[in-house]
Amino acid sequence: MRRSPGTQSYTVDPDSPASAVAAVYRVVLEVMRDRLQVFYVDLLSDSPWPAEAMGALAALGPRAPQRRRFFGLGKLERGITVELDLSNDDDMTFALALVPWTISAEGWSKDDVLEYAVSDTGTSASFELTPADLARVIQRLGDEGVDPRALEVLPD
C-alpha cells in the first residue's frame, strides 16, 4: 500500500475493549480531519446500530445515491455508501457517530492515498499517522482515559 511521506501505519490492538476501539477510531479521525480530502462511509453495520448513530443514519440515508440492480435494470434502490465533506461540521459529526460501527469507512488524502480505513464493525483498521499526529492522538486518548497502547504499529 502506498503511504504519504513521513507517515507510519497504525491499527488498533485486537485485545482492546470495544469502548477503546471506538475512541481510537474517533480520535484518529479528528486528528486527521484536515488531511482527508475525500471520506466515504457505509450506512451498514454487522451489528445493531447503537442509539448514538441513529440520528446520523437518518440524516445521511437520503444522501446515499440511488442505483439500479442487475446491470442497470430493475427498480431503483438506495446505495449504502455516502461521501462526506469533513470540513463541514455536520458531516464530521455524522462521521464520528458512525465510524466505530460501520462495515467500512475510508479517508483519502489530496494525493489519492488511503490514510484512514476502518471496517468490519470495529474489528479492522489502518491509519497513516505522522509523528505529530501520533503525539496528538496519544495525548487525546489519555485525556479520554483510554490506554494509548490501544493504538499499535501496523506491521508491514
C-alpha cell at 56: 446520523
> Whole-angstrom Cα distance, residue 33 to residue 116?
10
Q: Where are the beta strands (DSSP E) in 20-155?
A: 36-42, 66-68, 76-78, 81-84, 104-109, 114-119, 124-129, 151-153
* pLDDT at residue number 71: 58
Q: What pTM was computed for the model?
A: 0.89
**pLDDT per residue over 69-105, tens digit each?**
655 565 555 568 899 999 999 999 999 999 999 999 9
**pLDDT per residue over 5-29, tens digit each?**
889 999 999 999 999 999 999 999 9
